[in-house]
Amino acid sequence: MSQIKRIFGSSFTMMNGLLLAFISLNISTASAADAISTPATMSEKTRPKIGLALSGGGAKGAAHLGVIKYLEKHNIPVDYISGTSMGSFIAGMYAMGRSTAEIELILAEYDWSQGYNDDVPREALSIREKQRQDSFQIHTNIGFDGTSVEYPSGFVQGQGMGKLLRLSTNSLPYVNHFDLLPIPYRAIATNIETMREVVLERGDLSKVMQASMSIPGALTPVFIDGQHLVDGGMVNNLPIGVLQEMGADIVIAVDIGSQLYSQEEITSAFLIFDQLSSSMTRASANEQILKLSEQDVLLSPDIDGIGTADFDLMPEAVVRGEKAAEYASAKLNALSLSDANYAVYQQQKAARKQQLAQIETIEINDIKINTDTRLSPRVIENKLSLKRGDKITVAELEQELDGLYALNLFQKVDYSITEKDGLHDLNINVVEKSWGPGYVDFKFNIQQSTTSDDSQQIGLQYILSDLNRLGGEWRTELVYGSDSNISTEFYSPIDYNQYFFFKTGVRLENYESKLYLGSVNDPALTPINSTFEYFPVKTEQIGVFAELGAIPLEWMQIAVGSYYQSGTAEIIGTTIDKDFDSQGWYVKTRLDSFDNISFPTKGFKLDADVYIDTGDYLNSNENNIFFSLDWRNAVSLDRSTLEFKASVASYDGPAISPTFEVGIGGFQNLSGYGINELTGNHKGLVALIYRHRLLDNNFGAFSLPLYLGASIEQGNVWNDTDDISFDSTITAGSMFVALDTGIGPVMLSYGYAEGGHASGYLFIGNNF
């Protein structure tokens, strides 16, 4: 397994488009440092200056911290420090004055795999964005501007990585020169245009680290001083020469880079790719190693079995780094200082750290919004809810940025801080997606049941965003399958806070349904009853709507609107068809705080609709009211989740209505029956669902959790309110096994209802 991770990790650097490499990326993690001034004693003035060079290697880079712990334990000073990729993070953290204990805590506290994941947690999305992602679950990040197809410059834009690095450095304000840090520091990056080495010696420390760590094709390049910068490992994975230029007399170099395979070990195409990509970083490291002299120290920790994405093994890497230093104790200990001299060295570092603009609480003096989007800066500032004069921590500021990024309109949202006289100017940088403003998503759903007809859907959604300064957008959907439709709608907030919105659209659809005869009381249909169990009905209709809505909270939406539908309902296999018109008013309420639509572990979801239909269908001459409510609530303990589900619906119009169908049946909806096998004018259902997450199947860049579960359900449908009673309800239940995948759940289940009704179900990509 470790060999596979190594293959994927190093191959990614060379194969920019190789998605498999996304599993184990050559990440770089964190570290802190204390700077140095020359103590006043004679021995200190005459001692050689020591530089520490740290190479890249993802999670393996935690071994660097073990080396530093050994150096501190044996009074070995570090006068200069440099790093590449993961090494730039550890080096930067140590250089800014972080203790080894602080760095170790940061490595353990944060989920470093999220550095290569920009996905916004579902519970943080707006309800509108949740509905879009739930329906069109294949998010491609493909852009289309009407003339050409565009793609992002990396699988990940760096939002997650930037957040981790800012939290790690506590958003240290801009440093005019890294020689001013407690330990003079340099980070190595690569100019992606010239493929030349760039030595970074000033700036925003977290941004500099990110540039050094941005693997081409995995992370979008970081723009600094007019250059697009990526991972420095391609040109200098072990920056020894930089330390010598800074003034280091002795260099301690820590090499955790991948070694090349022997001819006998190259047995597959993946190993060939790995060999090619490893040769780039290996060649640059070997070139630097040639610059070492007899007095320098080269450490090569044993990191076999630890892959670039094995973040859970970072504590083990720390131990191995310390052991590697112990093996070289004879040379290293010769560099030790006396306790008194080392104390002076530490004091000098502490004094230089005090001169840095360390941030405990940000006191906002001014806010500047830098954006290239059409969205008004007022909207952005209102979304952040920050004001001049506010006092806020870095963690709280990151939460504010998360809310802005959750709009899903931007490639990246970050910030920088400039400090003067204890006050902080906050520069918010909002970058529009470079591959927009039109985006394409897809859907793919399959439902199969042993007791009802199968259904399939494929669909495409095109979103044209950034239509106005308030955040307007135009969405068009094309869906083909058992239920087909073409629809388009325009949506726009109508205030700078985006609390209120207007939406209008048109929808053309063609679908088939079954109206079971047990729900039909019309004597005119009696001749058909003796031949068929249900009516197979084909409906074609076109509808238009317009609505006004409010979003009091991100997880709440209320809308009122007017609609008109016109179409034809035809009983398949007969000459019976009926034209119909449906028009009226509606009120819709949506509450949604679920963290996952298919397998929620926390939160709730409510859909409540009231329609007042004034149309004339089947001689219905009065206003008909349709009401439906669906409620789900989930609570979890460790790996187990209980979900409660309740659903009611009522329609006081004709029993056969192509616009308002009240049905029950299907998985966890009276399991054992076919999908909507029972129909009527009134419905009631309650269910209790248990899920256990059996396996996480976490591969770093993505996961495929495996669930086992069961449900118990009680419900029925009725034609008349007088018939509704608990005694007339049906008991049912189900068992299932499911995977949560990138295209939605893949689930196999079995359901049984009293009376001998049983059914098997298969879902692929369906959000049930």
Q: What positions carry a catalytic annotation?
A: 85, 231
Q: Would you say 356 and 103 are in contact if contact means Cβ atoms under 8 Å apart?
A: no
The beta-carbon contacts of 587-590 under 8 Å, at least 24 apart in sequence, are: 587/558, 587/559, 587/560, 588/547, 588/557, 588/558, 588/559, 588/560, 588/561, 589/556, 589/557, 589/558, 590/127, 590/131, 590/556, 590/557, 590/558
Q: Is the dihedral of CA 464, 467, 472, 474 positive or negative?
A: negative
Calculated CA dihedral for residues 143, 144, 148, 149, nearest 10 degrees? 40
3-state secondary structure of 409: coil
Calculated CA dihedral for residues 8, 12, 15, 17, nearest 10 degrees? 100
Q: How open is the CA angle 270-274-276, to the nearest 5 degrees?
A: 120
Query: Residue 219 forms beta bridges with which residues?
Result: 156
493: tokens are 């907030």
Please report, for residues 35, 80, 225, 292, the alpha-carbon distance to residue 336 in angstroms, rounded to integers and kept in the order given: 17, 16, 39, 20
Q: What is the DSSP letter of 158?
A: S
Burial of 144 (0-12, 13-18, 19+ CB in 10 A): middle
Contacts of 116 (CB under 8 A, 6+ apart): 22, 25, 27, 156, 160, 161, 218, 219, 700, 701
Among all chains, which residue has been given the structure tokens 């004018």? 681
Calculated CA dihedral for residues 559, 564, 570, 571, nearest 10 degrees? 40
Q: Which phi and psi (to 5°) does residue 362 adopt?
A: -85, 120
Q: Which residues of 341-359 are buried (b: 16+ CB within 10 A; e: fewer)?
A: bbebbbebbeebbeebeeb
Query: Residue 667 forms beta bridges with which residues?
Result: none
Length of the chain: 768
Please report, for residues 490, 643, 715, 724, the alpha-carbon distance to residue 727 in angstroms, rounded to integers and kept in the order given: 47, 24, 10, 9
Please state, in angstroms and rounded to a whole number, the distance separating the CA atoms of residues 654 and 621: 11
Burial of 446 (0-12, 13-18, 19+ CB in 10 A): middle
DSSP 661-716: -EEE-STTSSBTBPTT-EEESEEEEEEEEEEEEEE--B-SS-B--EEEEEEEEEEE
Residue type at 364? I
Query: Residue 512 forms beta bridges with which residues?
Result: 538
Burial of 726 (0-12, 13-18, 19+ CB in 10 A): exposed
Cis before residue 437, ω within 30 degrees of 0? yes
DSSP strand pairing (154-156 vs 217-219): parallel
Q: Would you say 514 and 676 are in contact if contact means Cβ atoms under 8 Å apart?
A: yes
Consecutive H or E run containing 444: strand 438-449
Q: Which residues of 267-282 are buried (b: 16+ CB within 10 A; e: fewer)?
A: eeeebebbbebbebbb
